[in-house]
Amino acid sequence: MTAAQIVLIEDNRADVGLVREALEQHNVRCEVTAIANGDIAFSFIEEVEQGQHPCPDLFIIDLNLPKKPGREVLKRIRASAACKDTAVVILTSSDNQKDKDDIAPLTPLHYLRKPSGLDEFISLGALFKEIVQGRR
């Protein structure tokens, strides 16, 4: 079986490292593409639509991104013929109910607040593993 494809749209390098570590600790066989801002995420989705990349098994998106916010990236994914049904997890520092309400119609699988503790962050790997295994 080929490795799962995960696209992580996150501008904080430390959080990118933590997500990678969480995946590794839970033995998730995957390739992670890290994208640092909303503009690059839009370009990536356009490249998927043009057949330059396969649609990933999972998008993990931060809401607070430079260039274009995560909500706009999720809207773009849902508007994409190639990726509209792809699993999406929102992983953000925002616990704002308005953010949750704004995102809900775009049907992310999960809306998760970034954990403050290392063990909690690493435990997210189990959820990501369950999602990608369920999609294969």
Indicate whether 54 belongs to any domain.
yes
The predicted pLDDT at position 136 comes to 62
State how many domains the chain has: 1
Amino acid present at 35: I
Which positions of the chain have pLDDT values less than 70? Answer: 1, 136
* 134 lies in some domain: no
Residue 30: strand pairing partners: 4
pTM above 0.85, yes or no: yes
121-131 pLDDT, tens digit per residue, is 999 999 999 99
Give pLDDT, residue 43: 97
By the 10 Å C-beta count (0-12 exposed, 13-18 middle, 19+ buried), 88 is classed as: buried
Is 29 inside a domain boundary?
A: yes
CATH number at residue 118: 3.40.50.2300
Alpha carbons 120 and 51: distance in angstroms, whole number: 36
80 falls within a domain: yes
> Which residue is listed with tokens 């430390």?
14
In a domain, 121, yes or no: yes
Q: What is the pLDDT of residue 2?
A: 80
For residue 111, tell me if it sits in a domain: yes
Asked whether 43 and 32 are in contact (CB, 8 A), the reply is no
